[in-house]
Amino acid sequence: MQLDDLDRRILTALQKDAGESIEKLGERIGLSRNACWSRIKRLEEAGVLTARIALVDPAKVNLGLSVFIAVKTAEHDPEWAETFARETSAMPEILGVYRTAGELDYIIRARVPDVAAYDALYQRLTRKVRLKDVSATFVMQEIKETHALPLIYAGD
């Protein structure tokens, strides 16, 4: 799908506040309510706009510790990978799982209340999936955290 400047402006605005009314969004972008709504529906139907969600402050829901978990495995067969994907997907503390190139095989991003909760997560993970090496990095300060994608690369 080709995105034009109006599409990029709509997507940028929705990434900042998906709860803004269509009327206000259209006014800011320079479109009528109906034209703005039509573009949003087209972006949804094309799979460009995949969800409209609410973001929750982790500290306010007792998830103050962000952890990056580095994983190395000795196994790379499809059955192991399927088990790993299924088990990590079932753990609500795990927010992201990424297969990587280089020294590490996977990086996991998790949110927990504290180090004790991380240890419980670690214990559950290592009971369910065979891993060669697991190490954690605890985030001391979040300098930048965003879900907004940089749309400067979205071509016309």
Reported as a single tens digit per residue, the pLDDT across 79-112 is: 999 999 999 999 999 999 999 999 999 999 999 9
pTM of the model: 0.88
User: Could you tell me the fold of the domain covering 58-138?
Assistant: Alpha-Beta Plaits (3.30.70)
CA 134, CA 7: separation in Å to the nearest integer? 42
The whole-chain average pLDDT of the chain stands at 96
Domain 5-54 has CATH 1.10.10.10: yes
The pLDDT of 29-43, averaged and rounded, is 96
**Predicted pLDDT of residue 71:** 98
Q: Give the Cβ contact number of residue 95 at 10 Å.
A: 14
Asked if 49 and 99 count as a contact pair (C-beta separation under 8 A), the reply is no
Strand runs (DSSP E) across the chain, as ranges? Answer: 65-72, 94-99, 106-112, 133-138
- For the residues 6-25, what does the mean pLDDT come to? 95
Range 40-61 average pLDDT: 95
Q: What is the pLDDT at residue 1? A: 82
| pLDDT above 70 for 74 | yes
Q: State yes or no: pLDDT of 119 exceeds 90.
A: yes
Residue 72 phi/psi, 5-degree rounding, is: -120, 140
Query: Domain spans of the chain?
Result: 5-54, 58-138
The pLDDT value recorded for residue 156 is: 55
Beta strands 106-112 and 65-72: pairing type?
Answer: antiparallel
